[in-house]
Homo-oligomer: A and B are copies of this chain.
């Protein structure tokens, strides 16, 4: 039975890393003494070791130890044997490239579908959807495919940002970008604002946090969804 938390961001403004999620994570990972961290997305280009140390520091507050997947000889075995798994944010193109390079995209999907508790933030949440095609990240590396874990039957846009109506910048708004995605793809896209997350328990998907989320369906006006909305039938 799936047991997943998919968060828009790791960090809220003026908060520390994972701080706002710790009470939730304490319950989510209650049966884990140790979790596996996947640091492949390397935010700002930091090393796997530095990134793993950052995750370990946050999880030490709830008495869980953290080991990076790069510390294991066999990445596939590390995933299969993990008590819980956390994939951190950073660059989604890099994350997806490395998951394919280490040949673990499929085993990660199967392991999480079989019930290993999973946490994703930002890029680590993007990969929970059907494809990474609604990421905000820069294509700094060419992945072998845009297909991702498919843990939920739709796509996500983490760090969802409403258009700034005062802005004089002429670059595309987030909404325009998602509209361009829907010119070619019929997959629903959920814009998750910072502070929102999805809780997946078995086939039940629930919007959590204090904020609304914005749902984009092909050829339809976007909708605002209240917290605690049930998204189990969205596809």
Contact = CB atoms under 8 A, between A and B. Distances in A.
Interface stretch (A27-35, A72-80, A99-107, A181-189): A181-189
Interface stretch (A8-16, A59-67, A205-213, A221-229): A8-16
A121 to B, nearest CB: 10
A114 B230 CA distance: 59
Contacts of A137: 172, 177, 180
Contact of A170 (B90, B172, B176, B194): B194
Q: How large is the interface on A (under 10, 10 to 19, 20 to 34, 35 or more residues)?
A: 35 or more
Contacts of A183: 42, 44-45, 140
Nearest to A171: B159
Interface in A104-148: 132-142, 145-146
A161 B167 CA distance: 11
B135 A139 contact: yes
A14 to B, nearest CB: 8
A225 B181 CA distance: 35
Contacts of A172: 43-44, 136-137
B194 A169 contact: yes
Contacts of A185: 140
Contact of A146 (B45, B142, B176): B142
A91 interface: yes
Contact of A139 (B45, B133, B141): B133
A45 B185 CA distance: 11
Interface string A157-201: 001010000001111100011111111110000000010000000
Which 6 residue pairs spanning A and B have beta carbons closest together?
A45-B183, A159-B171, A13-B168, A138-B177, A140-B181, A91-B180
5 contacts: A9-B170, A45-B184, A136-B172, A140-B183, A140-B185
